[in-house]
Structure 1
Amino acid sequence: MARTTARRRTAALAASLAAVTGLAACGSGEPEATPGTAGTTPAGESATLTIYSGRNENLVGPLLEQLEAAVGTQVEVRYAGTSELAAQLLEEGENTDADLFFSQDAGALGALARADRLAPLPDDVLQLVPGEYRDANGQWVATSARARVLAYDPAQAPEVEQMTGIDQILDEKYRGRLGYAPTNASFHAFVTALRVERGEDGAREWLERFAALEPQGYDNNVAVLDAVDSGQVAVGLINHYYWYEKVAEEGADAVNARIRYLSSDDPGALVNVAGAGVLAGSDAEDAAVAAVEYLLSDEAQQYFADETAEYPVVEGITSTRHDVQPLGETLSIDLNDLESLDQTLVLLDEVGLT
């Protein structure tokens, strides 16, 4: 993707999110739904469950096929970037065809919740996960978790093994040798966490210093990791599970790249979640809630642990395929605070990292 094209798309998404969430904050002025009609399907009709998935089809496609059988409802899935789908859902409002939003990160879910576009989930569903993995108002729930890490080439940057914070990569020796995925939702979430932890000025300072080192932009985390593994760049910003998947597919001896978990109090150690929320006014609300329940079932949680190398959010599930480093203390941040995606996108555009 050309740099200018990506910048225009991100700016448009930011404008869309800012405009629609701004209107939501002032009140929509739309009439309330008639009690007892939202989320129901007339007798004799079979609803189609429409899922907007910001999660990559290669990662979750097989799981969503299993979900269709488990829920017993025909499922249609639209795949696109999480930020793109969040902006579209805000624009579509009550006219959306979507029943369920399957997001790559908590920030996009937070933006929809703030705009009153998500319906409250039943308490028995919310109680399936710990409090830190669900919205305080019960409008979304996490389905899996993953940690931000530094991928590094041990031949070029062995010192990364001792790093504890994200500031340590802001060194002139890494000029042109840093990799990141500018349009990826997980990078957007990291930047949002940076804003929450350090404030707007502190985040801008870090991003400007990062941009000054001429980092290499890639389409996604897979491409970033491949660039590190092949020695094209020395250090890359990714999520942990991409490395574990690569090791599982190619064998540990065939993977040159290594990963480093940073200190728990550093924004670079963000543990974010993928999650799901039911769209307010859905015509298939019961099926959408059943889909969320399935994503929290032992079967689905085992899928995340084994097939995507993510951290389950339901207790008692461990991977039988990946030797994933256990999570210890994590960055103390309310995932609901990652909702200001619109401001993050504007900031990234202003510093030239889109």
Structure 2
Amino acid sequence: MLAGAGLVGVASARGISPLRAAENETLTLYNGQHAETTAAIVEAFTRETGVRVAIRRGNSAQLANQILEEGDASPADVFYSEEIAPVLTLAARGLLSTANPDTLKQIPPQFAAKDGAWIGVSARCRVVAYNTDMIKLEALPSTVMDFAKPEWRDKVGFVPTSGEFQAQTLTIVKMKGRDAAVAWLKGLKDNGRIYNGNVAAVQGVQRGEVPVALVNNYYWFRVAEEIGDDKMKCQLYYIGHKDPGALLTLSPAGILKSSKRQDIAQRFLGFLVSAAGQQALVDAVAEYPVRPGVTSPYALKPIDELDPPDITPEDIGDADLARALRREAGLA
């Protein structure tokens, strides 16, 4: 019998409702997603259910490695990752429980594992941030591959440690081959400017340090909230037409099989893709909801107009290969 089910049975025998029993539980969430985003979702979940959530924060890859080291003794009930690769690593090891069918029905099939081992919670796309005082929109190339060419020397910023940048590299491997991906990375190393984060890259474009930067869409909105939309010299260019520069990625979550609170963990996973959970998410961050019918307050380009490449999470989930490619290109 699942631990959660046992708890409900004892509570009911004592005349306490199952919901009240859940309120006496604390869910442990290993969180690699941005702290503000997760806090908004967790607050909404606790407000609706009364269930407390203890959040352990860290880098997504580091948290996944910690779970592997902890094994069945891990205190984690749910793992929420900013990037897909760490969750795929746990799924490949058979460490994740299958999400309830009712949860999987809430989102399109492409936003969840085929076997239900994880669900996408939000989506984000790769974009090009550009300074309108330094370059015209029509001068931007039609493929992200061109930004590695010598004519872009000292004109393009990028974040090689970003999980989504690595996913973009793996997309190039899938679409154009390993040699093309390594050449692209080497070109960026030789000609581009490295930033230590996407916010810093957007700010660099805004300040005129570089005309363009390869980033995730939602970081533009973070900077714009700080200085005002009307002061943004930096704007976003969506490449589209299934180019690797238009990659759409997911922030996923999964339940640990070792969790002794399976029922409550399933309830939390279901809340992540519920109307209330998705609204709490999009109100907090300019990412795309995975649940249809949820409206973001941010001026996002409609997801059905992004025209991303036909790449699945499994196609870009090989973190080991991404690191090997970076080392080969001299970016480690």
The interval holding the TM-score normalised by the smaller chain is 0.7 to 0.9
| 1:346 corresponds to 2:324 | yes
CA contact (8 A) 1:51 1:77 kept: yes
User: Could you tell me the percent identity over the aligned residues?
Assistant: 30
Q: Using the alignment, how far apart are the partners of 1:285 and 1:161 within structure 2?
A: 53
Match of 1:223 among 197, 200, 208: 200
Residue aligning to 2:283: 306
Where structure 2 has 5 or more consecutive residues not aligned to the other structure, the ranges are 12-20
CA contact (8 A) 2:182 2:328 kept: no
Match of 2:260 among 269, 272, 283: 283
Match of 2:105 among 120, 127, 143: 127
Residue aligning to 2:14: none
Match of 1:244 among 214, 221, 228: 221
Aligned-partner residue type, residue 254 of structure 1: K
Residue aligning to 1:48: 26
Q: How does 1:190-209 map to 2 (within 5 A)?
A: 190-209=168-187
Change beyond 3 A, Cα 1:199–1:87: farther
Deviations 1:299-337 (A, max 9, x none): 221233332111111111112x32211122321111222
CA contact (8 A) 1:102 1:277 kept: yes
Alpha-carbon distance, 1:174 to partner: 2.8
Residue aligning to 2:83: 105
Residue aligning to 1:21: none
TM-score w.r.t. the length of structure 2 is 0.88
Aligned-partner residue type, residue 41 of structure 2: L
Alpha-carbon distance, 1:116 to partner: 0.9
Q: Using the alignment, how far apart are the partners of 1:178 and 1:263 within structure 2?
A: 19
Where structure 1 has 5 or more consecutive residues not aligned to the other structure, the ranges are 1-35
Aligned-partner residue type, residue 298 of structure 2: H
TM-score w.r.t. the length of structure 1 is 0.83
Match of 2:152 among 174, 177, 180: 174
Residue aligning to 2:15: none
Change beyond 3 A, Cα 1:160–1:281: farther
Q: How does 1:129-168 map to 2 (within 5 A)?
A: 129-159=107-137, 162-168=140-146
Residue aligning to 2:17: none
Residue aligning to 1:322: 298
User: Relative to structure 2, which stretch is displaced further, 50-59 or 190-199?
Assistant: 190-199
Alpha-carbon distance, 1:353 to partner: 2.1
Alpha-carbon distance, 1:162 to partner: 4.0
Deviations 1:91-148 (A, max 9, x none): 3222221111111122222221111111111111111100110101110111111110
Aligned residues: 317
Secondary structure of the residue aligned to 2:121 is: strand
User: Relative to structure 2, which stretch is displaced further, 173-182 or 147-156?
Assistant: 173-182
Q: Using the alignment, how far apart are the partners of 1:160 and 1:137 within structure 2?
A: 43
Secondary structure of the residue aligned to 2:314 is: helix
Match of 2:57 among 79, 103, 107: 79
Query: Over the residues paired in the alignment, what is the CA RMSD in angstroms?
Result: 2.1
| 1:57 corresponds to 2:35 | yes
